[in-house]
Each structure stands twice: as C-alpha cells, then as structure tokens.
Structure 1
Amino acid sequence: MKMKKVLILLLPVFAVIGLIVFNACKSADRDAVDTANAGLTLPDGFSAIAVADNLGSARHLVVTPEHDIYVHIASAKNSKGILVLHEEGNKTTLKTSFANYGGTGIAIKDGYLYASNNTEVYRYKLNDKEEVINPDEPEKIVTGLLSKRMHQPKAIALDNNGNLYVNIGAYSNACSDFDPDKKGCPILDSAAGIWQFKSDKPNQHYGDGIRYAGGLRNVVGLAWNQQDNQLFVMQHGRDALHDLYPNLYTVHQSAELPAECMFALKQGDNAGWPYVYYDWMQNKNLLGPEYGGDGKKPADPKFINPVAAYPGHYAPDGLLFYTGDQFPEKYKNGAFIAFHGSWNRAPEPQAGYCVVFQPFKDGKPDGKWEVFADGFAGTPEQKASGRAVHRPCGLAQGPDGSLYVTDDNKGTIYKISYKK
C-alpha cells in the first residue's frame, strides 16, 4: 500500500521527466534537420555544405580550376578586402589575403583577376594556376566612379571583346527629390545605368566610359551570357508606392510591386527608371506615379521591357549563367539569381532570402522561375520579420559544376552539388 502511494506521488515527477526527454528528442531532431544541407532546402538529388564561415561581409566570388576561391568582402577585414581560400575535401583553408579595399565586384578573364571598390576597378595578373602574381601592385583600370549616398556598390562583368561593364546605381528612389517639377531626371547622365570601359586600358576615368545602357535604378547582379553574347542585369525596383501614394496603391500592392526585373541589354537601351516600373501581376510596363501614372497608365513604348520579372523587394544581388555538366540538363545555360531579401514589405511578411532558377532557351528566359535554394534566413519567423540569419549575395560555378553561394551577413560560403 505504501509503495502504491509512493508511485502515485511520483507520477507528476515522471511526467515532468518524460516531457523533458521528449522535448530534448524533439530539439535534437530539429537540430538534425537544421544542420542537414547546411540548413538549406533544395530539389531532390541536391545537397549543400558550408565550406567556409565567419568570413565577414562576403559579396561576390570566383572559383578557379585549382579550387581556389577568391571572395570579395564589402568591408576590408584586417585591412584585406579579398580573401583567397583553398578548398579540399569540402573544407577550406585561408591561403592568403590582399587588397586594402573592400567591395563587391570580382571576376577572372584572360589571365587577370578584376576587382572593384565603390570608386575604382583594379586588375591583377595571374600565373598559370590562376594565382595573383603581385597582389601589392594592382593595375588601376578605372578611377573616379560616382559613389554617393545610396546604391554605392559596384558590380562588374566582362565580355569577349575586351570590354568591362560597371553598374552606377542611382542615389535616389524615383528621382522626385531631384526633379520636383517632374520635367526630367537630372542624374540620368551620371548614374542609373551600366558604363562600359576597355578591360585592358589603365587609368581610365569615369568620364572616359561609355554609358552603355540607362534607366536602371540599381544593379548588383550582372553577367555576360555566353550563349547569345549579351549582357544581362538584375534591377532593384523602387520603393514606397503606398507610403507616397496611398490613394493609388494598397499596402499589399506596395509590398509586391514593382517587380525586380531581368533585362537583356544592348548598347543604347533605356529601361525607363524613374519614369517607368514593371507590374509583374499585370505583365505591363507602367508609368510611375511621380510622372502622371495611376497604377494603370502604360509606359512610353520607347523604354525596353524586362525579359523576366520577380516579386518586389526581393533584392537581386547575384546573377550566374550555369554552363556546367554536373546538374541535370534542365539547368544548362539557365540563370541562377541570388535574392538578398527584403526589408520593406511591412506589414506584409518579409520575403526573398533565396536562390532562384530561371530556365533559359536559346539565350532567353523560357518558362516560370522556381525557388532553387531556400532556408538561408533561418526560421519562418526570422524570415518574415526580416531578421535573416544568412542573406545570399554572390554566385560562382566551381570546376566540377557545383554552385557556390556567399552570404554577406554571417560570411558563409555554401557549396551546392548534385548526385544522381
């Protein structure tokens, strides 16, 4: 009888212990899920691993055939803005670092490494293993690039004819702060476009460049498409449609619009900023409200249309055309886009923080885009609130066809691979 009473008294204790064990098991299971594929969700057959972490604000990157990874850091770390990691067995070690400037753009072409800060572009001669020969004496290719109060980072791309392309972001939302009378945007001659320079000519000044294409508010993701020999860019769309024009746009419309747009550019093209924005739900170029638009009036047809469009405020920061053989055939020559994630969709949930795949055919987008890699932001709550743990930024293709993704929040580099 005494034993029965003791057992009855101990029942609540056993229940508490059981609950603790159950929750511990749940936590362990959750941790196992969170750490699989470095926390990312991917299509079947794909896996991911974090090959580097805590690098700082890792922006764009390139990977060499010798498995060296050049990573540009936005803010120089220990007075070095370019880190060189060597990868072996899905692990990296710091091989060296150089460059006394931070920045975004980095690329390899014809025996040189090119890198940019907010006002200059440099290049470094490489040896036959694509190692920088003299890191302390770069050749200055372009100087004096415009860098004002917003949209300062400079991304770069190179074509096959000796040309270098650099974005010059607009230091405005819709130019109304510079154009109160709506008679024209005075900064279009010096910003909001892509400038072209010679890739092998030293000491070019900003004014020596060609304004290759204009009407682009801000571009961070750009790449040369080898399939059709053309420059493609990803534009960051404008903000505050509802805040500025609550009688024309709902909160939901302001969260979803305008589209983040992919443009295929030729010299002389004008994408229309600040007079135009693209509504991906109506599939139309519309006149901006600052310039007489009402959410329905079409834009002047002299402005080019995007070749693909994505939800508003996702912030595209990386663009890569996949030319490898490791991934399934559907990915060949298609585009991967790194969306950095939104901050300005409230009171709607924040969104983005993912890598998207856009199918291509014959050098043009073909079919609906799809989320390829997600989970960078962390929990659904972290994503919705904008408190993302990781934010995708740069993309690179490895020598074996793997896809590398940088995160400029925690400084992680992800390697995504496919196995049949």
Structure 2
Amino acid sequence: MNKKIFFAFCLSVIVMGGLLSFKLINDDNSISGRAIANAGLTLPGGFKAAVIADNLGSARHLVATPQGDIYVHLAGTKNGKGILVFHVDGDKATLKSSFGTFGGTGIAIKNGYLYASNSREVYRYKLDDKNEVINPDKPERIVTGLLDRRTHAPKAIALDNDGNLYVNIGAYTNICSEFDPKKTGCPILDSAGGIWQFKADKPDQTYRDGIRYATGLRNVVGLAWNQQDNQLFVMQHGRDALTTLFPQYYTVHQSAELPAECMFALKKGDNAGWPYVYYDWMQHKNMLGPEYGGDGKKLADSKYIEPVAAYPGHYAPDGLLFYTGNQFPEKYRNGAFIAFHGSWNRAPEPQAGYCVVFQPFKDGKPYGDWEVFADGFAGTEQQKASGHAVHRPCGLAQGPDGSLYVTDDNKGTIYKITYKN
C-alpha cells in the first residue's frame, strides 16, 4: 500500500475511533460512573440537571406545591418584593407573581398556609385550594421581635405535625469568648444559639411566648422535620479560628478541617454544647473547646448530645431536605439532601463545599457514609479552591414529581434535578 494512502487510512481510523468514543461517552452520559449534567453540574449516572430560572437575586430557601408552583424567598427584595412565584413546566419556570415587602430565608407550607420569615418576624399567608396566596398584601404576623444582631441573623423555619413552628436564633458571636464565659458561662444562650418553638397559629408571639426548644447550637440555617421518625433535624455551622486563637493546640490543617459541620436530631430540652464543645469528625469524638479548658485532646462532658452525622469543617450547610419522592432510585427514599454553601476560611487549604450531598438514612437515622450528589456549582477548580465560587447552593425543595430543586444565592439560579433510568 502507498505510504501516503496508508497514513491517510490510519488517520481516518484514529479520527473515527475518537468520534465513536466521544459519541459512546455522551450517549452513556457517564465518565467513571458520574453523569455530566447539561447545567454544568456533575451528578450520579441517570440524573440530569437544568437551569429553570436565573439572575433572581439572592435566592435562599424555596418550597414547591403539588400544582407545580414554587415559592422562592430572596434574601433581599427585587422590585420591592421578597417572594417570587414560578410555575414549573418541564425544564422551564415562568414567573407568575411576586409579593411580600420583606426579604429573608425561611419559607414553608403547612395546613393551608405559606409561612415566611425575615430576620425579626415570621408571617403566614392563607392559601386557596390551588395553594395560591389569597391575600398577598395582608399576611398574618405570627412571631415578632426576634433577636437580630446582624451576625447569623437569618431565621430558618420548620413546622411539625402538631401545630408548632420552629425558628433558629443564631448566636451573634463565634465562640462567646468576648463575654468572659469562664466566669459567667455564655450569657447569650438565654436568647440566642438555639431553636425556639412557637405556636403555628397564634399571632404576634414574642420570646416570652416561645419555648427554647434546644440550645447549644451556634447557627442553624438548614432544618427540617423528619416525617419518618417525627423529629426535628438541624444542620449546625461550626465555630471558626481554632489555630488563629490557639496555635499551640491546632495546626492550620486541623483548623481547616475542624470542627465538623454537624447534623443533630433534636428533642425538647437538648443541649448540643456550643460554645463549650465541638465535634471532631476525624476522631469521632465530642471535644472540650480550648476556650473552656480543652487542648484538642480533652473530651466534652457527656451531658451534651452528640451529632447523628458529621461533615468536614466550614462547608456551611444552608439547606436540609428529607426526600420522600418516587422518582429517584430507592436508595434515596427518606434520606437527607444537604446544600453546602461553601467555605471562606479553610486557608491555606483549598476552599471547599459548594455542593449538595446525600446522607443515607435507615429507620429515621443516618446510616452509612454520605456522598457528594451534585457538584460543579462553584465553576472551575481554581474558582472553587480560591473561594470565588460562581454559584453557592442554599435551598432545597422536592417537586410534586419527585424532582429536586436547588437554589443558588450568589447568582440567583434555580436548578431542577431529575432522574431517568
């Protein structure tokens, strides 16, 4: 065979082989068992993601209705409104309306009402039989006068099956050290650093009317009522600055990884231990904090509850959802999805988080290892490592068809994640 002809033949085989391989990879839509989603996310095989809305502002938590609508709460207001209403049809979301003169984080639907919070109040709106707000200009104020010291000010909410409303009151300090707690304890725990319980239908309640349901929680943004075991679950943002404050006890690597971001299953009266303790996810132990006599080795008092699951430090969990749909494979049923907003303080280690993880559950409790479910929100590895993330996951909701919605409060993007075997 002529050398030129032979070379051309070989080249064509290589090119065609490459094209065939490219087609097979894309037809299978998986590389090493991970799907490449067309919204820029990486997902497990069989899952797809689509951007259904974008540039909304700082989109925080959201909730979906059986009729295919979603209510999205913005941190601030857009055109004077803090709650956006979309109708979702396939991979497209159409803006129906907007209302509410306040921004915030918390939003939930229960027993014919839409609940929404700002940093100081919780309101509710009556819904009609299509789960549409009847009078958007006249909400009923359920709780007023909540503590707002700017730091950890967002008020996340959840509702149980017995007419109770749960509100996070974040601590307005890292570790309470500015209050000389060795002498007096942490004085702010009477009004912050915990979960407060209120009646879901009683107007104008204040702290005096509420119950401090659980304490010792530095800041909770992701919380949800687990229907499987009828219990409140929360995700705590752990403390900062271990090595900055105590370089004699902690390396920079330890300070980047510790303390754990913790999932707690709460009962009335529980104390999770902040500011006195932190959880070391590498040792699987509750540790005494260095401000209170700890040295990275001393264990915490057993009177403090331990987390039911733990995750690397500074990932910043902002959303928690228990999946009860039928669309996703069976392994996801009754398990928890967690939206990690991403870190800013893991230097000199790369910044991390900016993902949605899945935590398997069995009989109402975490069972087995957690796994990254959706990644790629941050953009390139360089953007992620430097903390300059393009998108930062925040809120989670389950659609009526079992799809998963994820908000991004950086660019104001809403993702819809679906599964098709």
Alignment of 1:160-239 (within 5 A): 160-179=161-180, 181-239=182-240
Distance in 2, matches of 1:182 and 1:388, equals: 41
Alignment of 1:11-410 (within 5 A): 36-179=37-180, 181-410=182-411
Distance in 2, matches of 1:396 and 1:361, equals: 21
CA contact (8 A) 1:80 1:101 kept: yes
Q: Supply the AA of the counterpart residue of 1:147.
A: D
Q: Deviations along 1:310-340, whole A, 9 cap, x unmatched? A: 0000000000000000000000000000000
Q: Deviations along 1:172-204, whole A, 9 cap, x unmatched? A: 000001225443000010000000000011111
Distance apart, 1:368 and its partner CA: 0.3
Q: Supply the AA of the counterpart residue of 1:142.
A: V
CA contact (8 A) 1:179 1:186 kept: no
Q: Supply the AA of the counterpart residue of 2:314.
A: H
1:387 is paired with a residue of what secondary structure?
coil
CA contact (8 A) 1:182 1:290 kept: no
Distance in 2, matches of 1:286 and 1:245, equals: 15
Q: Supply the AA of the counterpart residue of 2:373.
A: F
Task: Give every structure 1 segment of 4 or more consecutive aligned residues whose post-TM-superposition deviation is greater than 4 Å.
Answer: 32-36
Distance in 1, matches of 2:200 and 2:398, equals: 22
Q: Deviations along 1:207-248, whole A, 9 cap, x unmatched? A: 210000000000000000000000000000000000000110
1:205 is paired with a residue of what secondary structure?
coil
Q: Supply the AA of the counterpart residue of 1:347.
A: P
CA contact (8 A) 2:314 2:343 kept: yes
Distance in 1, matches of 2:135 and 2:271, equals: 40
Q: Deviations along 1:57-116, whole A, 9 cap, x unmatched? A: 000000111111100000111110000011113111110000000000000000000000
Q: Deviations along 1:336-375, whole A, 9 cap, x unmatched? A: 0000000000111000000000000000000000000000
Distance in 1, matches of 2:94 and 2:330, equals: 32
CA contact (8 A) 1:176 1:182 kept: no
- RMSD of equivalent CA atoms: 1.7
Distance in 1, matches of 2:130 and 2:278, equals: 45
Distance in 2, matches of 1:182 and 1:389, equals: 44
- What is the aligned residue count? 392
Q: Supply the AA of the counterpart residue of 1:71.
A: V
CA contact (8 A) 2:360 2:367 kept: yes
Distance in 2, matches of 1:305 and 1:296, equals: 17
Q: Supply the AA of the counterpart residue of 2:367.
A: D
Q: Supply the AA of the counterpart residue of 1:220.
A: V
Distance in 2, matches of 1:357 and 1:37, equals: 20
TM-score of the superposed pair, with normalisation by structure 2: 0.91
Distance in 1, matches of 2:90 and 2:285, equals: 48
Please name the residue that 1:415 is paired with: 416
Distance apart, 1:149 and its partner CA: 3.0
Distance apart, 1:206 and its partner CA: 2.4
Distance in 2, matches of 1:202 and 1:310, equals: 38
Q: Deviations along 1:279-335, whole A, 9 cap, x unmatched? A: 000000000000000001000100000000000000000000000000000000000
Distance in 2, matches of 1:200 and 1:173, equals: 34
Gaps of 5+ in 2: 1-28
What percentage of aligned pairs have identical amino acids? 82
2:350 is paired with a residue of what secondary structure?
coil
2:244 is paired with a residue of what secondary structure?
helix
Please name the residue that 2:20 is paired with: none
Distance apart, 1:37 and its partner CA: 2.5
CA contact (8 A) 2:37 2:43 kept: no
Distance in 1, matches of 2:60 and 2:183, equals: 36
Distance apart, 1:50 and its partner CA: 0.5
CA contact (8 A) 1:219 1:235 kept: yes
Distance in 1, matches of 2:134 and 2:36, equals: 38
Change (3 A) 1:370 1:36: closer
Gaps of 5+ in 1: 1-31
| More deviation, 180-189/110-119 | 180-189
TM-score of the superposed pair, with normalisation by structure 1: 0.91
Q: Supply the AA of the counterpart residue of 1:401.
A: G
Distance in 2, matches of 1:350 and 1:245, equals: 21
CA contact (8 A) 1:71 1:84 kept: yes
| More deviation, 262-271/82-91 | 82-91
CA contact (8 A) 2:235 2:320 kept: yes
Distance in 2, matches of 1:402 and 1:182, equals: 51
